[in-house]
Amino acid sequence: MLHDLEPICNEIKNFTFFKDLNKEKILMLCKGGQVIVSKHRENLFKFGEKADHFGLVLSGAYRLSRPTPHGEESVLYFSTPGDVIAAFIMNRPDPVYPVTATAMGTSRFLKIPRVMYTTQWMSNMNLIMEIQKSLSTRMIQLQTHKSFSGSSIPQRIALLLLELSGKKTYQSLTIHELPIPLTRKEISDTLDVTVESVIRVMSQWSKQGIITSNDHIIQITDFEKIKSISEAVKG
Amino acid sequence: MLHDLEPICNEIKNFTFFKDLNKEKILMLCKGGQVIVSKHRENLFKFGEKADHFGLVLSGAYRLSRPTPHGEESVLYFSTPGDVIAAFIMNRPDPVYPVTATAMGTSRFLKIPRVMYTTQWMSNMNLIMEIQKSLSTRMIQLQTHKSFSGSSIPQRIALLLLELSGKKTYQSLTIHELPIPLTRKEISDTLDVTVESVIRVMSQWSKQGIITSNDHIIQITDFEKIKSISEAVKG
DNA sequence: CGTAGCCTTGAAGGTGATCAATGTTTGTGG
DNA sequence: CCACAAACATTGATCACCTTCAAGGCTACG
C-alpha cells in the first residue's frame, strides 16, 4: 500500500500543506490513501452522505455545491490542486458531507480514511495551523460573497471573475485568464441567479470586448473596466 | 491579574469549550484576559481593524456583521454566551477582524491577547477539536444560508426564526421564544433584504397570530405554520 | 424635550425570474 | 462514422417580487 503512494509523494510535497515535511512524514499522513480518477461531471461524494474519507485534490478541479430547495445547485467553492477537502468535518461525532464534490474535467483526488485525520493529522501542529488558515480563508470568502448578495448581477459577476482570476499562477500584464474553465451555469449557480441573467450580462461584455470566452475558458481583456464595474455603487 | 479572573472561572467552566478542564488549566488559557462590559450598540471591534485579541462571550449577545458596498450592514452571526469569537484568525500572519462585533443590549466579553491562542490554546488537543467543530458548524450554517438565498423572503424569514429558536435552552411545547431580542432591521440585515420587506411579512404574520413580538422578543405561536412556510417550494 | 433608532404603510418602478423556443457543442452507442 | 441525446448557450416577451422613495408615528434616552 505504501509503495503505491511513492510517486504521489513527489507530486504533493510542494503543496502548501506539506511544505515543511519530509517524505516519511508525508507517507505517514497519507497512509491508507487511494488515488481516485474522476471523469468530467462525476461525483466524488454527495451532500448528506456519511463522511468517512477526506482528501487532497491532485489535479484538475472539483466544484463543491449543495442542493437548494428549488432543485438547483448552489456552488460554494472551486477546489484546485493542493486543496484539502472535507477535512474540517472529520472530527465531528457522526460526520456527513456538507457539500457535493463534482469533477470539472478529468481530475484526480487522493482519498484518505477519516481515522488518519483524527490520529495523524491532528497531532501535527503545523498541519493544524494550515488547516485552520485555509478554513478561515474559505469562511471569510463566504462572508464576502454574502455581503455582496444585495448588489446587482453585473457587479457580482465582475467580483467573481476578479476573485477567480486571482487564483491563477501566471499573470500576463494585460490579459487575465481564469485558471478554471467555467460554464455560464456554474457562474449562475455560484451567484444563485438564473443562467439567463448571467448570459445577458456576459454576452454584452463579450460584444464590448471586455471579456473573451472560448471553450469555457474566460479571459478578462479589459481588466480596468471589470474592476470599475465591481466597485460600482448604485445611487 | 490572575486573581481578577477567579470569579470568571466559575462562570465559564460550564461552557462547552472548557467542559473537561480544571480551574488551573482554565486560568492558564485565559491569562492576561480582561472582562469588557459593552453597552447596547457598542462595538467590541470593527471590521478591518488589526486583530490582537480574541475572546469569549460571557453574557448578553454580540452581533457579528460586515459593511456592504452600499453602506448597509450584513449580519453574519449572533454570538451568545459560551461562543468564542475571532479565535480562528489568530494564527494568520497579520490578522485583521473579518467582522464588526456589536453588543445587543448590555453584554460582557472576556478579551484574551492573541499570543495566548497561538501558544496555550493551540497546544491543547481538546480545545483544537472544539474550535474546529464550532468553526465547521458556522461554516455549514453560512453555506445553508447561501443555498436559501434564491428563496422568497417569507421563506427565508421563517427559516431564520426556526434556526434561532433552535438555540434556545428551554422549549415550551407550544410557544417558541427566540433567545435573542431582534429588531426587524437586524433580521433584514441578516437576510440582506430591506427592512420594509421584512416588516410587511412579519406584520402580516402578527395579524394572523402566527408570531407575537413584544419589545423585540419574538415568539413563534404557530410553529407548524412557520415550518410549512419554511419548507414551501415554489412552482 | 428633542434627537435617534425603530416600526409602519403606501405608491411607483425596475431588476431579475419565468417561460418558451432554438441553436450549438459534446459525448455515446449502434 | 453517423444518429441521437444531453448539456450548454442564446434571445425575446412577460410579469412578479422586491426595492426605492416618501411620510409619519412610536418609544427610549441623554
Residue A54: which of A8, A16, A92, A18 has the closest Cα? A92
pLDDT per position as a tens digit, A119-147: 999 999 989 999 999 999 999 999 999 99
Task: Tell me whether A52 touches chain B (CB under 8 Å).
Answer: no
pLDDT per position as a tens digit, A55-99: 999 999 999 999 999 999 999 999 999 999 999 999 999 999 999
CA distance B10 to A100: 43
Contact flag B135-A132 (C-beta cutoff 8 Å)? yes
Q: Cβ-count burial of B71 within 10 angstroms (0-12 exposed, 13-18 middle, 19+ buried)? A: exposed
B153 CB below 7 A from strand D atoms: yes
- Residue % of chain B over a pLDDT of 90: 83
Given the C-alpha cell 455582496, which residue does it identify? A148
Q: Are B12 and B79 in contact (CB under 8 A)?
A: no
User: What's the pLDDT score for residue A170?
Assistant: 52
Sign, CA torsion B163/B167/B172/B173: positive
Distance in Å from D9's C1' to A143's CA comes to: 31
User: What's the pLDDT score for residue B235?
Assistant: 46
Map chain A to HEC letters: CHHHHHHHHHHHCCCHHHCCCCHHHHHHHCCCCEEEEECCCCEEECCCCECCEEEEEEECCEEEEEECCCCCEEEEEEECCCCEECHHHCCCCCCECCCEEEECCCEEEEEEEHHHHHHCHHHCHHHHHHHHHHHHHHHHHHHHHHHCCCCCHHHHHHHHHHHHHCCCCCCCCCCEECCCCCCHHHHHHHHCCCHHHHHHHHHHHHHCCCEEEECCEEEECCHHHHHHHHHCCCC
Chain B residues with CB inside 8 Å of A145's CB? Answer: 146
Instruction: Return the amino acid letter for A151.
Output: S
Contact flag B70-A145 (C-beta cutoff 8 Å)? no
- What angle (nearest 5°) sits at the alpha carbon of residue B101, between those of residues B100 and B104? 135
Q: What is the mean pLDDT of residues B105-122?
A: 95
Q: How many CA atoms lie within 13 A of A163 on its CB side?
A: 20
Listed by number, the residues of chain A in 111-150 with a beta carbon closer than 8 Å to a beta carbon of chain B are: 122-123, 125, 128-129, 131-133, 135-136, 138-140, 142-150
CA distance A113 to A33: 7
A184 CB below 7 A from strand D atoms: yes
B149 CB below 7 A from strand C atoms: no
Contact flag A142-B138 (C-beta cutoff 8 Å)? no
CA distance B81 to A121: 31
Q: Are B153 and B232 in contact (CB under 8 A)?
A: no
A41 CB below 7 A from strand C atoms: no
Chain B residues with CB inside 8 Å of A191's CB? Answer: none
Chain A residues with CB inside 8 Å of B140's CB? Answer: 98
Does position A234 have pLDDT exceeding 90, yes or no?
no
Residues 23-42 of A with CB under 7 A from strand D: 41
Does position A169 have pLDDT exceeding 70, yes or no?
no
pLDDT per position as a tens digit, A99-110: 999 999 999 999
The model carries a pTM of 0.93
Q: How confident is the model at residue A173 (pLDDT cuts 50, 70, 90)?
A: low
User: What's the pLDDT score for residue A171?
Assistant: 55
- Residue from B54, B132, B193 whose CB has the most chain A CBs within 10 Å, to mutate: B132
Chain A residues with CB inside 8 Å of B91's CB? Answer: 129, 132-133
pLDDT per position as a tens digit, A78-88: 999 999 999 99
